[in-house]
Amino acid sequence: MTIHFLYGKQDFVKDVRFNNNGSQMTNYSRFDSGIRAGWADRMERGLLRYNLGDLQTRILPGPCGFVAQLNVKRGTERRKPQEILSIKQDFNAEQFNFNKINPDEILFEMIKDSGEEQKIDYQPCKIVVLVNVSPLEFGHCLFVPDPSLCFPQVLTKFSIQVGIESVLLSSDPAFRVGFNSLGAFASVNHLHLHGYYLKHKLNIESLPCRPLLPARGFYTLMGFPAGFLFYTESKDVDVVSSAICQVTDFLTDANVAHNLFMTRGCPPCEQEDRFLRNGVRIAVWPRLASFGIKEESALNVALCELAGHLPFKNKKDFELATESVVIDTIQHYLLPDEDFLQLERQLTQLLT
């Protein structure tokens, strides 16, 4: 029997802080409890392709603060990624999709109870939350807008808004949500977002930003890697989700691959308390597309790597990695500076 997780704005957690020594949670939210208990249950029942265990982790020396983790089994045991040939590739029911999973992998279905707002802003669509059977980290799950509708891997306003709201529903600043477009190392062409817990601070949470259109929550990240940033607190989720969707629609129509990463973070403006995490930062990285079947043993640059979380699939690369080597690898996938600045002008005009 499927569990339904009904939520509203009253469930958003507003007072969140990341401690110096990582996230030390004592009171998980109802959302966290559902994810954590359900995920641990599926792991104990053997539904995951491997036992995750405690991943060997090290912080690479340098200003970027990259969090490197060794996860060999994700490279050897996971399902073979699909061959992606286009950013706007049609959904193919013959290939693996989330209608073909074991029903026991479903943790719950998310449904927002938002009264009249539901009729105006929301498609009649549920979000199915699945355990990721090839996890990156503890609690790794997938958010899939009604799988039966067979959406391709292209963001919608609904999926963006639910991603942001999932971060707001968590009382743990270690909970992150992300998206890989086709051509940006998405492995399955069926609309989904990733969510997982990473109990290490990332620079993206407090990186300084240059304002572009603050009224729409739109900024440029002032640091590596080059990208755009949106920021919202619970009251502005709808407005910011619309702006993000305009940007991702523009990128998709222009055949520009992209990754998103959503995390608790500081407001873009400077503030004294750098550990406060009351709002959500949404990073959007336009990048060069990568097509074909990805090499599973390599450091494939997707949402995690761009955010500063580096899952390595072989011990040698994990042990020898340096910040400069990682920067060179990531830089290979980023847009040239001139193209990025042109895109910045286009998107600012689009959102004005």
Q: What is the DSSP string of 38-104?
A: HHHHHHHTT-SSS---S-EEEEPSSTT--EEEE-HHHHHHSPPPPPB--TTPPP-TTS--TTSS-GG
pLDDT at 295: 62
Asked, for residue 331, whether it belongs to a domain, the answer is yes
Say how far residue 253 (Cα) sits from the centre of its chain.
21
Domain span at 58: 27-351
pLDDT at 170: 97
Does the active-site annotation cover 192? yes
Asked, for residue 6, whether it belongs to a domain, the answer is no
Among 113, 109, 143, residue whose Cα is nearest residue 126 = 109
And the tokens for 116? 């009249």
Asked, for residue 12, whether it belongs to a domain, the answer is no
The residue ranges of DSSP E strands in 159-252, in sequence order, are 175-180, 193-197, 209-213, 218-221, 228-232
Q: How far apart are CA 332 and CA 301, in angstroms?
A: 9
pLDDT at 122: 46
Asked, for residue 3, whether it belongs to a domain, the answer is no
Q: How far apart are CA 47 and CA 45, in angstroms?
A: 6
pTM exceeds cut of 0.85:
yes
pLDDT at 145: 95
pLDDT at 270: 62
Q: Number of structural domains, the chain?
A: 1
- Phi first, then psi, for residue 71 (nearest 5°) are -135, 75
From the candidates 192, 194, 258, 309, give the one annotated as an active-site residue: 192
Asked, for residue 9, whether it belongs to a domain, the answer is no
pLDDT at 141: 98
Question: What CATH number is attached to the domain comprising 147?
Answer: 3.30.428.70
pLDDT at 123: 53
pLDDT at 25: 55
Asked, for residue 206, whether it belongs to a domain, the answer is yes
Asked, for residue 10, whether it belongs to a domain, the answer is no
Asked, for residue 230, whether it belongs to a domain, the answer is yes
pLDDT at 228: 98
User: Each residue's pLDDT tens digit in the chain (352 positions)?
Assistant: 789 999 999 999 988 887 765 545 558 999 999 999 999 999 999 999 998 888 999 999 999 999 999 999 887 777 778 788 899 999 999 999 999 999 999 999 999 986 644 444 445 578 999 999 999 999 999 999 999 999 999 999 999 999 999 999 999 999 999 999 999 999 999 999 999 999 999 999 999 999 999 989 999 999 999 999 999 998 889 999 999 999 999 999 999 999 999 999 999 876 656 777 889 999 999 999 988 765 655 688 999 999 999 999 999 999 999 999 999 999 999 999 999 999 999 999 999 9
